[in-house]
A and B are shown apart, each in its own frame.
Chain A
Amino acid sequence: MLKVESLTKSFGSLVAVDNVSFEVPAGQMVGIIGRSGAGKSTLLRMINRLTDASSGRVLCDDAFATEVDVCTLKGRRLRQWRARCAMVFQQFNLVPRLAVMTNVLMGRISYHPTVSTLLMMFSDADRALAIRALQRLDMVSHGLHRADELSGGQQQRVAIARALVQEPKILLADEPIASLDLRNATIVMDSLRRINQEDGITVISNLHLLQTARDYCDRIIGMRKGVIVFDGAPAQMSEAQAREIYGSGGQDNEEEVELALGATSTGH
């Protein structure tokens, strides 16, 4: 169970995430939707602690023996939390010059002493685990290639493999398909869903398009200007609510709204 309580992040006078609260039971797949700039990325980054919250708490009871407030973690415990709360990014964030296998093994570094990892001394068990993860994403044949030789979709699959070997409880995905074509987007979203269902890993994914969230998620959280404006099952969302999430009232971005709403408004 992940509990976000009154989480707030302000950059100067701009409030990116404004007093956000929600709970995610273990094993759920949640899609966070909203326009660019709605605070979705900041929210995920605060949960993973890549960004520190201005105020509020993030409670998690299944990553450590007892329930912890993630926002207060430091040092080794913080790094352990990051490993258990894996993150996948829009731009994949692999290290381009390193081999795919090395990129995936990076998911194991928080489990070992610093010195041995700096010397790239990973155990056979780690390597076997990395191979399993790559097989899962159908990428094992590329194991010895450099990451920058791969296409975007392939890189994202490697990034998911890296997340998997972290043995996470939660997988955060920040616009995982926004840089991919339709076919690769489908492969990546299918993989996330499969990992969620087969491994019981909680998945929280930022998505730009409502239709993707409808197709893959158990639950949709809609954000607008840093505030949650919808939280419920996909079927519960009405056309009006969807428009509220994406619309700004002005006429100029009507096209953008239609695009984000996708199939829901094609007959409109």
Chain B
Amino acid sequence: MTVRLADLTAADIAAERMRFPHMFSHSASQRLRQWLGWTIVAGLTLYCLYRFDFVSLGFLHGVSKFAAVVVAQLFPPTGFDNLPMFIKVMGETIAMAFIGTLLGAAFAFPLSFLASKNMTRSRPVQFGTRRFADLLRSFDYLIWALIFVRALGLGPLAGIMAIAIVETGTFIKLYSEAIENLDRKQIDGVTAAGGNGLQTIRFGVLPQVLPMMLSNTLYMFEHNVRSASILGIVGAGGIGFLLADRLRAYELQEACLIIMVLVVAVYAIDYLSKTLRERLIGDHRRREPVDDAVQV
């Protein structure tokens, strides 16, 4: 029986369809579920577009006004005398993000193992750690910053703590997801060689998850530089304070200079973390299989 499309008659196709109906189409209930799913997504989207006035003349008008405001009132940037100060405060902002992210990663690393189904036998512990992480993440940086400003006073320390707390929650989730997607075979290999729990983690788990964790951490660092820039609005240190101040005083052109410093800093961080990621993780391009059995 050759496999050629031209040899298949309509009767053959109908016969195969009779014998293997599931290889031709989903069952009626599966199709119904798919159809329902798509209908809900589409309906929700349409409702939101309508409810939030996306589909209105007012929206179009607002967009054109926004463009006019940006062009006319932000440009050209002024306040270059203050540029060294802006840059120094930007540096402080980046430092806040750095320390906050590092603390978050340090807290989250051990906890993420507790939060992983495949690492923690006790279901309550695993579930509890997960919910604890959700709790930390469920308030935005700004809320935590407000709380820490009350507790620790105005200044960068409150901002750092806010970032560290939220990041602990985020990293527990991201790390434990990486851990749960582990390839079991490598772990079995190490266990079979007589490894205990910690040794298995060191040799079977870390080599697999570390690149993923590192990549997540670097990405969140970038993200936190942006977050740290607005924490100043509530007095938790960083360039946000200056920006909010200029915006409130309608010194939009000076605010524009601050925004430019911010954009340049974010670009730089983005570039640096990309370079770092490539250095530390290496590229995963498949190489040509190397002659392993016979070396000349």
Seen from chain A, the residues whose Cβ lies within 8 Å of a Cβ on chain B are 35-37, 41-42, 101, 124-133, 135-136, 140, 143-144, 164-165, 167, 198-199, 248, 250, 253, 256
Q: Which of B13, B19, B294 contacts A36 (CB 8 A)?
A: B294
Q: Which residues of A contact B23 (CB under 8 A)?
A: 101, 127, 130-131, 143-144
* Alpha-carbon distance between A162 and B172 when the two chains are bound, in angstroms: 42
Q: Which residues of A contact B13 (CB under 8 A)?
A: 124-125, 128
Contact A125 B294 (CB under 8 A): no
Contact A132 B20 (CB under 8 A): no
Q: Which residues of B contact A36 (CB under 8 A)?
A: 289, 291-294
Min distance, Cβ B15 to any Cβ of chain A, angstroms: 8
How many residues on B have C-beta within 8 angstroms of the other chain's C-beta atoms?
A: 23
Q: Which residues of B contact A126 (CB under 8 A)?
A: 5
Q: Which residues of B contact A253 (CB under 8 A)?
A: 294-295
| Known A124-B13, A128-B12, A144-B23; contact A37-B291, beta-carbon cutoff 8 A | yes
Smallest Cβ-Cβ distance to A166: which chain B residue:
B3
Contact B2 A144 (CB under 8 A): no
| Known A36-B293, A253-B294; contact A144-B22, beta-carbon cutoff 8 A | yes
Contact A133 B3 (CB under 8 A): yes
Q: Which residues of A contact B16 (CB under 8 A)?
A: 127-128, 131-132
* Alpha-carbon distance between A126 and B1 when the two chains are bound, in angstroms: 16
Contact A37 B294 (CB under 8 A): yes
Min distance, Cβ A121 to any Cβ of chain B, angstroms: 11
| Known A125-B8, A127-B23; contact A132-B1, beta-carbon cutoff 8 A | yes
* Alpha-carbon distance between A248 and B293 when the two chains are bound, in angstroms: 13
Seen from chain B, the residues whose Cβ lies within 8 Å of a Cβ on chain A are 1-5, 8, 12-13, 16-17, 19-20, 22-24, 288-289, 291-296
Smallest Cβ-Cβ distance to A199: which chain B residue:
B2
Contact A143 B294 (CB under 8 A): no
Contact B294 A127 (CB under 8 A): no
* Alpha-carbon distance between A125 and B291 when the two chains are bound, in angstroms: 43
Chain B contact residues: helix, strand, loop or mixed:
loop
Contact B294 A41 (CB under 8 A): no
Min distance, Cβ B36 to any Cβ of chain A, angstroms: 19
Min distance, Cβ A114 to any Cβ of chain B, angstroms: 19
5 tightest Cβ-Cβ pairs between the two chains A and B: A37-B291, A128-B16, A36-B291, A128-B13, A164-B3
Contact B289 A41 (CB under 8 A): yes
Contact B24 A132 (CB under 8 A): no
Tally inter-chain residue pairs, CB-CB below 8 A: 67
Q: Which residues of A contact B17 (CB under 8 A)?
A: 124, 127-128
Contact B294 A248 (CB under 8 A): yes
Q: Which of A41, A42, A124, A248 contacts B296 (CB 8 A)?
A: A248
Q: Which residues of A contact B295 (CB under 8 A)?
A: 253
* Alpha-carbon distance between A85 and B40 when the two chains are bound, in angstroms: 45
Min distance, Cβ A249 to any Cβ of chain B, angstroms: 9
Q: Which of A35, A41, A140, A165 contacts B20 (CB 8 A)?
A: A140
Min distance, Cβ B205 to any Cβ of chain A, angstroms: 21
Q: Which residues of B contact A124 (CB under 8 A)?
A: 13, 17, 24
Smallest Cβ-Cβ distance to A208: which chain B residue:
B293
Contact A199 B3 (CB under 8 A): yes
Smallest Cβ-Cβ distance to B20: which chain A residue:
A131
Contact A132 B289 (CB under 8 A): no
* Alpha-carbon distance between A144 and B288 when the two chains are bound, in angstroms: 33
Smallest Cβ-Cβ distance to B19: which chain A residue:
A131
Interface centre among B5, B19, B22, B24 (most CB of A within 10 A): B5
Contact A129 B3 (CB under 8 A): yes
* Alpha-carbon distance between A90 and B17 when the two chains are bound, in angstroms: 33
Q: Which residues of B contact A136 (CB under 8 A)?
A: 1, 3
Smallest Cβ-Cβ distance to A259: which chain B residue:
B293
* Alpha-carbon distance between A101 and B16 when the two chains are bound, in angstroms: 13
Min distance, Cβ A255 to any Cβ of chain B, angstroms: 10
Q: Which residues of A contact B3 (CB under 8 A)?
A: 129, 132-133, 136, 164-165, 167, 199
Smallest Cβ-Cβ distance to A168: which chain B residue:
B3
* Alpha-carbon distance between A126 and B292 when the two chains are bound, in angstroms: 41
Min distance, Cβ B125 to any Cβ of chain A, angstroms: 30
Smallest Cβ-Cβ distance to B15: which chain A residue:
A128
Contact B293 A135 (CB under 8 A): no
Min distance, Cβ A105 to any Cβ of chain B, angstroms: 9
Q: Which residues of B contact A35 (CB under 8 A)?
A: 291, 294
Q: Which residues of B contact A128 (CB under 8 A)?
A: 8, 12-13, 16-17
Min distance, Cβ B37 to any Cβ of chain A, angstroms: 16
Interface centre among B2, B19, B289 (most CB of A within 10 A): B2
* Alpha-carbon distance between A132 and B20 when the two chains are bound, in angstroms: 11
Min distance, Cβ B122 to any Cβ of chain A, angstroms: 29
Min distance, Cβ A108 to any Cβ of chain B, angstroms: 9
* Alpha-carbon distance between A248 and B5 when the two chains are bound, in angstroms: 48
Contact B293 A256 (CB under 8 A): yes
Q: Given contacts A129-B4, A131-B19, A144-B22, list 16 more A-B pairs with CB under 8 A.
A: A36-B292, A37-B294, A124-B24, A125-B5, A126-B5, A127-B17, A127-B24, A128-B8, A128-B12, A128-B17, A129-B8, A133-B3, A140-B20, A143-B20, A253-B294, A256-B293
